[in-house]
Every structure is written in C-alpha cells, then in structure tokens.
C-alpha cells in the first residue's frame, strides 16, 4: 500500500522509511495465524492465551520479559518436517536457533536429529540424552577439545570446514582408534536471503571450501586418503529466511556436479548430501513461507533430476532447519513502562526488555509484529515504535508497529515469532538478566530455562 493511503494522514509520511511501512490491520485485536503459534488465541475477556493460559496469569507467575514457547506447536512442526522428508532423508534441527535440554528431549521423541556448532551445544545435546549418532557437529573453527569430545562420544558426523580441520579430525580419530564419519562443507557461489538469491562471489566468506577453483575437490582428495575419516557426503548451506527454492536448485546442481567429479576421479559415489537450513518463517503477515512438504518435494525433485542427468544414484538427503521449526513457536511478553508521544513524529512505547532479549532488529533490521495482549481495545490505530530499555538508541524491538492509541504503562505486549535466534543470541547488555523460556502445553506452563538472577551475574564477577 502506498504511503498516501495511510488512514492517519500525512503526519507520519515523512518519518516512515521505505520498506518498513504497512497499513494498520483492519482489526488491531485480531491475531493473524501466520505469525502466531498454533494454540494462541484470545479468551472471552480479550486476553491473549497460549496453550489455554492467559498472558496476565503467565506474567504474574513468571514475570516479564519472558519467552513463552508453545510445546504442541514445536512438536507438530518437528513431525511435519520429519513426515515431509520421510524415512529416506534426515532432518537435523539446527540447535543454534534455540537449544535447551527440554528441546533436545522433544526432538528425540519426535524422531529428529540435531546439528550443534559448539562444545556447549554438544554438551547440552548429550546431557539430555540425544543419541550421539544422531548429532552432527558444525563450525568453522572447532577446537581440539570439541573435536575430541565429539569423536569420543561417537557423533554421527562432523562437517569439515577447512584443510587444517581435515587433518585435525583424522588425527584425533586415529589416536582414539576410530573412523569418524564426515561431510565436507562447500560454498556453491550462491547466497540466499528472503526472496532473492545472488549467484556471484559468495565464496568470499568464512564458511566452507569453494567449489569454484577446485578447493572443495581438493578437500575430497585429502579426506579420502586419511584412515581416520569416512567421507560420507557434501554439505552446503546457502543463507537464511529463504522463501523460494531457486537458490537450492543452483546449490543442488553444483553439489551434484561435484559428486559426479568425485565418481569420475575416485570411482566412488558419496552416499549423502546435506542442503543446510535457512527456510523462512512469517515475522509479519507480509511473509509467505512454504510448507515443509512443499520444500521436501521441491528438494527431492531437484536432486533426483540432477542425479539422473549425471547418471548418479540419488544420495540420502538431509536438511537443517532451525528457525522454521522453533521460530514460530514462541512469543516474547513484555510490560509497557512508558509511552512517549513526539508530536508530528511518532509515539515511542518502551518495554521492559529490548536488544538484550532480541538483538535481531538492531543486528539485521529484522521486522516483527506486536499485539496488545492483556486486553483488546477499540481505540484508533496509532503508529508506534516499540523500544527496549537499554542505553542504545538502536534498541528497537519493533520498528514500525500499529497499536491502539490508548496503549498505556502496565499493558502487556506480545511479539510473535521470537523462538529462533532471540534467547540463543540474548546478552547481558546493561547487566540485563536474560529472560526465562516457559513451555506451555494444555493448560500447563513450566520453566525450561529459568530467568537469570543478580546472583548469577555476580557469581561470574570474581571481584
């Protein structure tokens, strides 16, 4: 919609940057199913509920800010991904999006595998009982300790990211008397984000070994020579928040070309390819993500077609969705502290969290939605900027948001789709205490990651 169509008139027209403008929704109290988790609703009093529990009760019991995670939705999304890909493929949940012991247990119960990218994530996975053979270890600079621990535990695969690491993992495995299953991460010259993909020069990044120029082929050569390694496949991850499959198409084409070159040079067909994660979710109603079954069918078709063209048997496919599983399942609940109207500009609504619990707006200019959650309102829509309480003017939670004009201190605001890369990227900036994650299911709420306390902060500060 054009700016001039804004019902609030020209007052805001000069301050709204291109790309952040949306018209107020027809009904500010409605909860758009595209951005809220499955069990979110409003009760008869107009209070937002999740798993049948109202946010006023949740705020009283657990405080704000807090993340509320819809366990049924999380489990349903795991099943949707697993069923879409079927028994001939593997779904590895990307733990970097959000990981806790409860999450690991749910993944295990729902039949998903787990991708970890640090010693801490590996420790969480093992502690919560994920079988080691269902874990993949990632990272562009894994430490000797991390590799040793992974090999000792018997992880299903380590994704190799450099020439040094090929040798390092092989030596560690040999020393431990093991043969480690590995994949080689390649860069295919494609980087995809949201709706677009760019097919130039994206070898210039820290992850992976470029296909162009032959480094990836050389990595295969070196890995195949080492007794400590069992090379099972090639890995490619092309970006994040991707809504169409055209970038994957190019990636699959180039990865399959490498498999054909490996067959021609070494006489072996590598049995697996991993196409990474990066599938998009709806942060606002403008986003239009694909369903897992559409993605699975498209990826299977692309790989099957490319393999047929090269005369290769179709390898086992794996994917690593993080955001697409956990992102939509949680919202962050905040309490409004101040409302500051800047006449002729906009109204700033300050909440009790901010960039310490959601860095994505400041870091990537990410868009979010927001709703008045503790009540409904019939007041006119008002253009606001929802901001945090940190000492940083970039501390923005939702850049341009329409809220009822009577929004006031004490109201609760809920920001949906904060399950991924919010708690996992949370910080203690300004000595903020990182919020808890509360799992809600069927009328029951339980803390799965507790709120930090001042004692936690002071315990690390040894004076």
Binding residues among 133-152 for ligand PLP as defined by CB under 6 A? 138
**Residues 6 or more apart whose Cβ sits within 8 Å of residue 156:** 113, 132, 133, 134, 135, 136, 181
Inter-residue contact 415 to 334 (CB < 8 Å) = yes
What x-and-dash track marks residues 314-343 binding ligand PLP by CB under 6 A? ------xxxxx-------------------
CB 399, min distance to ligand PLP, A? 21
- Put residue 129 in one of left, alpha, beta given phi > 0 → left and psi -120 to 50 → alpha: left
Distance CA 391, CA 100 (A): 29
Cβ burial of 184 (10 Å; 0-12, 13-18, 19+) is buried
Binding residues among 12-31 for ligand PLP as defined by CB under 6 A? none
Q: By CB under 6 A, is residue 423 in contact with ligand PLP? A: no
Point out which residues pair with 265 in neighbouring strands: none
Tell me, what DSSP letter sits at residue 279? Answer: B
Q: By CB under 6 A, is residue 114 in contact with ligand PLP? A: no
Give the residue numbers marked as catalytic: 391
- Quote the tokens at residue 192: 């995809």
Q: Which of 277, 328, 353, 354 binds ligand PLP (CB under 6 A)?
A: 277
Beta strands 371-372; 53-54: pairing state? unpaired
Q: By CB under 6 A, is residue 289 in contact with ligand PLP? A: no
Q: Which of 53, 78, 97, 307 binds ligand PLP (CB under 6 A)?
A: 97
Q: By CB under 6 A, is residue 55 in contact with ligand PLP? A: no
Q: By CB under 6 A, is residue 247 in contact with ligand PLP? A: no
Helix (H, G, I), strand (E, B) or coil at 18: coil
Q: By CB under 6 A, is residue 390 in contact with ligand PLP? A: no
- Quote the tokens at residue 272: 């697996």
Candidate ranges 58-66, 217-225, 271-279, 351-359; the one touching ligand PLP (CB under 6 A): 271-279
Q: Which of 119, 156, 189, 278 binds ligand PLP (CB under 6 A)?
A: 278
Q: By CB under 6 A, is residue 184 in contact with ligand PLP? A: no
Q: By CB under 6 A, is residue 357 in contact with ligand PLP? A: no
Instruction: Give me the sheet containing 196-198, strands edge to edge.
Output: 196-198, 191-194, 239-242
Q: Which of 279, 359, 382, 383 binds ligand PLP (CB under 6 A)?
A: 279
Q: Taking the mean position of all CA atoms in its chain, how far away is CA 135?
A: 18
Q: By CB under 6 A, is residue 346 in contact with ligand PLP? A: no
Question: Which residues contact ligand PLP by CB under 6 A?
Answer: 94, 96-97, 115, 138, 237, 240, 276-279, 320-324, 420
């Amino acid at each position: 919609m054009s700016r001039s169509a804004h019902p609030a008139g020209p007052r805001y027209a000069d301050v709204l940057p291109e790309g952040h403008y949306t018209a107020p929704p027809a009904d500010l109290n409605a909860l758009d199913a595209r951005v809220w988790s499955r069990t979110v609703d409003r009760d008869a009093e107009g209070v937002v509920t999740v798993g049948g529990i109202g946010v006023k009760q949740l705020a009283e019991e657990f405080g704000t800010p807090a993340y509320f995670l819809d366990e049924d939705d999380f489990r349903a999304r795991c099943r949707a991904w697993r069923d879409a890909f079927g028994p001939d493929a593997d779904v590895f949940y990307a733990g970097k999006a959000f990981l806790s012991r409860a999450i690991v247990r749910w993944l295990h119960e729902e039949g998903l595998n787990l991708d970890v990218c640090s010693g801490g994530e590996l420790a969480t996975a093992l502690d919560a009982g994920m079988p080691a053979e269902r874990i993949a270890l990632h990272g562009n600079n894994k430490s000797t300790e991390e590799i040793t621990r992974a090999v000792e535990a018997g992880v299903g695969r380590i994704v190799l990211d450099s020439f040094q690491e090929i040798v390092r993992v092989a030596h560690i495995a040999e020393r431990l008397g093991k043969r480690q299953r590995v994949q080689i991460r390649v860069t295919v010259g494609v980087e995809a984000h949201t709706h677009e993909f760019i097919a130039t020069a994206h070898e210039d990044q820290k992850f992976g070994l470029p296909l162009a120029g032959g480094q990836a082929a050389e990595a295969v050569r070196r890995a195949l020579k080492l007794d400590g390694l069992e090379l099972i496949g090639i890995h490619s991850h092309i970006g994040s928040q991707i809504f169409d499959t055209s970038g994957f198409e190019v990636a699959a084409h180039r990865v399959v070309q490498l498999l054909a070159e490996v067959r021609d040079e070494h006489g072996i067909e590598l049995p697996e390819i991993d196409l990474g994660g990066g599938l998009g979710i709806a942060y606002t109603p403008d986003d239009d993500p694909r369903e897992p079954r559409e993605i699975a069918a498209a990826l299977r078709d692309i790989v099957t077609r490319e393999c047929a063209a090269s005369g290769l048997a179709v390898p086992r496919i794996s994917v690593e969705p993080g955001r697409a599983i956990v992102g939509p399942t949680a919202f962050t609940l905040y309490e409004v502290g101040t409302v500051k109207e800047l006449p002729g500009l906009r109204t700033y609504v300050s909440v009790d969290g901010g960039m310490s619990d959601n860095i994505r707006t400041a870091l990537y200019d990410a868009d979010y939605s927001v709703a008045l959650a503790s009540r409904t309102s019939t007041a006119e829509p008002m253009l606001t900027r929802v901001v945090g309480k940190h000492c940083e003017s970039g501390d923005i939670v939702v850049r341009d948001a329409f809220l009822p004009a009577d929004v006031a201190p004490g109201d609760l605001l809920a920001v949906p789709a904060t399950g991924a890369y919010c708690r996992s990227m949370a910080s203690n900036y300004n000595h903020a205490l990182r919020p808890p994650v509360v799992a809600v299911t069927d009328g029951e709420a339980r803390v799965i990651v507790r709120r930090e306390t001042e004692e936690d902060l002071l315990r690390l500060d040894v004076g």
